[in-house]
Amino acid sequence: MESNPDVGICGPKLIFPDGSLQLSCRKFPTFKSTLIRRTPIRGLFPYHKRGQDHLMSNWDHKSTIEVDWMLGACLMIRREAIIEVGLMDENFLLYCEDIDLCLRVKQKGWKNYYLHDAKIIHYHLAKSDKSFFCYNTYLHFKSMFYFLQKNWQFLKKRGTH
């Protein structure tokens, strides 16, 4: 962060307890990626194909790159960026608050970086991915709908709608 003053948020590579890679850096969600990943339509796609572009799963994760956002499990956020954009939006009960924060940081001209050589073990439960008909899936869908509604104009301008 000290050598890159334009970076607002950076995040490490997340590793599952078994040592395998956790896909933790992503592209901003689109209406299409939300439908494929968060509705019953997802049953029509093999697991590894669901949101492949959104999840950046075709990339080897062996380099430090600028990304749209990273999972909020472990983020380093520049104080000046937080002062400029504010804290996480409390209207998100659970899920998507990290996406929203990274988006607001990018909107103010800061960059978000995934750091491949910094690693942490993350005990990711992925409750909303394991079962479509559960409370966590409902919360995830509700938060994603709020995120898309709140940020639709920016996403539309970017061509990611």
Tell me: the pLDDT tens digits for 129-156?
555 577 888 888 899 889 989 988 877 7
Length of the chain as a residue count: 161
pLDDT of residue 76: 98
- Residue 38 pLDDT: 61
What integer pLDDT is reported at residue 39 of this predicted model?
A: 63
The rounded distance, in Å, linking the Cα atoms of 45 and 100 is: 27
| For residues 90-101, average pLDDT | 94
Rounded CA-CA distance 136/10 in Å is 27
Q: What is the pTM of this model?
A: 0.83
In this predicted structure, the answer to whether residue 113 has a pLDDT above a threshold of 50 is: yes
Question: Distance between CA 83 and CA 139 in Å, rounded?
Answer: 28
DSSP of 92-161: -SSSSHHHHHHHHHHHTT-EEEEEEEEEEE-----HHHH-SSSHHHHHHHHHHHHHHHHHHHHHHHHT--
The per-residue pLDDT for range 23-76, each reduced to its tens digit, is 999 999 876 766 666 666 666 766 666 667 778 888 899 999 999 999 999 999
End-to-end Cα distance, the chain: 31
Residue bearing the bigger pLDDT, 66 or 93: 66
Q: Are 72 and 101 in contact (CB under 8 A)?
A: yes
Q: Which of 22, 28, 27 is nearest to 119 (CA)?
A: 22
